[in-house]
A and B are shown apart, each in its own frame.
Chain A
């Protein structure tokens, strides 16, 4: 669908409708909500990475002023409350199911990471809850901990979960091993690299929070929670935890201040709170402190990978072989198992025609916080592997890195990769050409010389990324082990005066759905954007939906709205036929006006809406009154956004400081609904990707399992001044698998950026020996080594 050029339609840089309330402090986040008689929760957390719990004494805590109740894992177990679980079954190479271990809501006999949940304390005020939590006396028997991914699977290491020998959750693979081995055997050149994909802590501005409430009159529960997918949370709490049937459980995710994946999952805190709300008979509020977010939000990434690329004498890629260890933490979080497997290996073909790929992944338990999806989820890890490999291979075989990429680009679509995916559309060379031009690739040598004169080292790095968004065809993910379908729902309710409410199963936590979804309605129904309200995040208001993650709200969520609008238009035309007294088939609808060749009368959309509700022009036998339609959209394929990011750095070899001088992003997101919002998504994504490349690192002490980077004093977040002004351009091919042509844009920057930065730094240094995060200390040390573009090992 093309842009109409309308001021508020698809393609218009409409100012965000929600920003008035956010900027004036009128947003309504979970912690802003207070319920009558509300109490406060605090959690007793494990100070040990691994320990047996010998005894918990709650007497002193219960005697503290204001303390109402203290609950332990045994109290929950006594009530037969279900355990937390992982919703994606991964099958190992040998056909055995993954070793999921146990994940009690509150620890039972054992704690497995620093921050693990030991007891829930409920009190009259937050301070009293904390005081009482401190008074809970827990006798631990500390056990040796395993916090080092490199050695966690070695024999004799401490065992995190009894069910998973050698801390191995699964040993999974994808691709044709024999074909890959044959290709490597005849390769002219093999590039081999070792990569660390550093562990990240999500750090949404709004910490996680929950208010749990039980209404004994209705025998029903309400949970306000910081979720990206309230219906999925309700489903989990109902079907797996057993809190209440779905119709007796309302989940509300009000304004949510950022998620980046970390608010997809069902966590212990809200689960324990909703269970306890009935016990104490009063609402319970819990708001994480920042320290708790560091310790107990699901972390991201954390891979160790060896990757190899086989190249022929003409610089054509023959095959790729990848072996990855993925740290999954001490328990499997809700979607943890899928991230380093099906969200990772199927992206290893990148933008390239690679005849054969084989990838092995070991999922590994350690005594660290659970690891799950974080902006990009698997795809940044895949792009980092592909784009580092391709870069190093180009350098080692004496090719210009841009031309090496171009030579190996997929040229025609659809393209079946050797790792599941069928890419439907793209024009990779067009993105590259535009990027080279905007980045002034030709002028690079002059800029390098200018830097050299200042005693600085300049380098350029490319990242030609691909991602799979719009997850996903339900049948396809079902066959790969997903426990749910990944469609989306929408309902479009037209009011009698012609204003419209869109109820969507997508959830906005920063993405701007209240604006973009309204733009779609404005364009399709020809009504002003102010006449449209988008309702989301409340299971009592909105039909079941799957929520927002994986850049799916545009491609999947908006398509559901699109389909519901189709149905509204069909019905409205029927109404128009009666009102205009012409055959229904002769009614046209364009830019908000109903007309017919059979009459010179016309009607506006609000006029038809009114007619639909007063129902004076047709009988009940001819047509149902009202104007409200719903749709479920199950995509037929993933979408494949792609692009080329170019990063140019200047390194000060005396201090190791890396300054990003230029950033060029040319992206193919298909149809762009709101370019201003899309640019914002690219900015944020690049910032997070630069953060990963240069600064961020969740550092656990290898022997004690203590989180060393447990506050912003030690966990380095990117600041505005760490980022350059980002030059953004689009080079779009519409997505063929949805009527809007949308591919998705939410993760692109975070996916593209790390490889672009590291490729630029290694170009500047003249060798490949640097790992993420490339901190000043690491770069300084790397700059001492002599430039030698030899084998990367």
Chain B
């Protein structure tokens, strides 16, 4: 790790101010992606602005027909939350399947979404649930937010404040873990909202999380695992690495999608 300056934000406005005050400052949430990267000397921000004390970023609420989760909510808090469990139980299950207990007690939904790791779990849920990402400046739909590998619509100085999930009629996420990292080798989130079906895939696509139009169409007609029979992903769009080549991932997209639907 290179030397850096540690700054602590006391409020959202303070965080924005501190972030703007240094050209190479970065936000620090749970630190479970950022700090390992810094330890490996792959990232070298000059300053870190710690969001740990920013009250506006905490909390889980039901607001109208939406579940709203503050950016600094840890995966463990989301997994254990009675509000999450009662409104979108599959989301609590997803949060409870991220990493291990250490990771779940440090890592946050805001950090995960901002990072947009192509193997992370949350982005699939946000896409499938048609979630809205609120920042200190605006609101962004998930479809417009995730822009490929580790890339998002966030601009410099923009801070995610909360994520708002319209409560669906059905939702489930099926994850096939990478045998080494236990991130998603393939993860498929399926959601049914008034009439429409949405399917989002993480871990597999060579341009990050994506929606699967053919599956959405099939599930729109009939919400059943069988409706997805014969539909996989196109291997040419898939990641290929030592843990799974494109053909295997393409196949797993189909299997995990059917399992997700079966779990709803």
Contact = CB atoms under 8 A, between A and B. Distances in A.
Interface of A: 127, 130-131, 134, 291, 654-656, 694-695, 699, 708-709, 712-717, 719, 775-777, 780-781
B128 interface: no
A712 B242 contact: no
Contacts of A709: 180, 242
**Residue among A134, A715, A717, A777 with the most chain B CB within 10 A?**
A777
Contact of B244 (A134, A654, A695, A777): A777
7 contacts: A654-B255, A655-B176, A699-B242, A708-B242, A712-B181, A714-B242, A716-B180
A714 B180 contact: yes
Interface residues of B, number: 18
A134 B2 CA distance: 11
B255 A712 contact: no
Nearest to A654: B255
Q: Is the interface of A mostly helix, strand, loop or mixed?
A: loop
A654 B228 CA distance: 15
Contacts of B255: 654-655
B243 A775 contact: yes
A510 to B, nearest CB: 22
B226 interface: no
Given A654-B255, A655-B252, A777 B243 contact: yes
Contact of B251 (A131, A716, A780): A780
Interface centre among A291, A695, A716 (most CB of B within 10 A): A716
Contacts of B182: 719
Q: Which 9 A-B pairs have the closest CB atoms?
A: A716-B180, A716-B179, A713-B181, A777-B248, A654-B255, A777-B244, A714-B180, A695-B179, A699-B242
A715 B180 contact: yes
Nearest to B251: A780
A625 to B, nearest CB: 58
B153 to A, nearest CB: 27
Given A127-B3, A714-B181, A715-B180, A777 B245 contact: yes
B180 A712 contact: yes
A654 B257 CA distance: 12
Contacts of A655: 176, 252, 255
B194 interface: no
Contacts of A708: 242
Nearest to A718: B179
Contacts of B251: 780
Interface string B227-262: 000000000000000111100100110010000000
B63 to A, nearest CB: 37
Contacts of A127: 1, 3
Contacts of B1: 127
Contacts of A654: 255
A715 B251 CA distance: 23
B4 to A, nearest CB: 11
Given A655-B255, A708-B242, A776 B179 contact: yes
B224 to A, nearest CB: 17
Nearest to B258: A654
A656 B251 CA distance: 11
Interface string B178-220: 0111100000000000000000000000000000000000000
A775 B252 contact: no
Contacts of A716: 179-180
Contact of A781 (B40, B176, B248): B248
A717 B181 CA distance: 9
A696 to B, nearest CB: 9
B149 to A, nearest CB: 15
Contacts of A695: 179-180
Nearest to A784: B251
Contacts of B243: 714, 775, 777
A771 to B, nearest CB: 14
Nearest to A773: B179
A699 B242 CA distance: 9
B50 to A, nearest CB: 20
B33 to A, nearest CB: 12
Nearest to A776: B179
Nearest to B183: A713
A713 B3 contact: no
A365 B49 CA distance: 50
A298 B255 CA distance: 40
Given A712-B180, A781-B248, 14 more contacts: A130-B41, A654-B255, A656-B248, A694-B179, A695-B179, A695-B180, A709-B242, A715-B180, A716-B179, A776-B179, A777-B243, A777-B244, A780-B248, A780-B251
A291 B41 CA distance: 12
A780 B1 CA distance: 40
Contacts of B180: 695, 709, 712-717
A719 B180 CA distance: 10
Interface string B158-193: 000000000000000000100111100000000000
A130 B251 CA distance: 44
Contacts of B40: 291
Task: Output the residue of A656, A694, A699 with the most chain B CB within 10 A.
Answer: A656
A775 B179 contact: yes
Nearest to B176: A655
B127 to A, nearest CB: 23
A443 B13 CA distance: 68
Nearest to A713: B181
A131 B181 CA distance: 29
B180 to A, nearest CB: 4
Q: Which of B40, B242, B243, B255 has the most CB of A within 10 A?
A: B242
A655 B244 CA distance: 11
Nearest to B244: A777
Nearest to B248: A777
B18 to A, nearest CB: 24
B39 to A, nearest CB: 8
A501 to B, nearest CB: 40
A272 B173 CA distance: 52
Nearest to B181: A713
A744 to B, nearest CB: 32
A553 to B, nearest CB: 33
Nearest to A778: B248
Contacts of B179: 694-695, 716, 775-776
Contacts of B3: 127
A504 B242 CA distance: 45
Nearest to B180: A716
A780 B242 CA distance: 14
Contacts of A714: 180-181, 242-243
A134 B1 CA distance: 12
A355 to B, nearest CB: 42
A148 to B, nearest CB: 15
A752 B8 CA distance: 54
Nearest to A289: B39
Contacts of B244: 776-777
A708 B241 CA distance: 10
Interface string B1-40: 1110000000000000000000000000000000000001
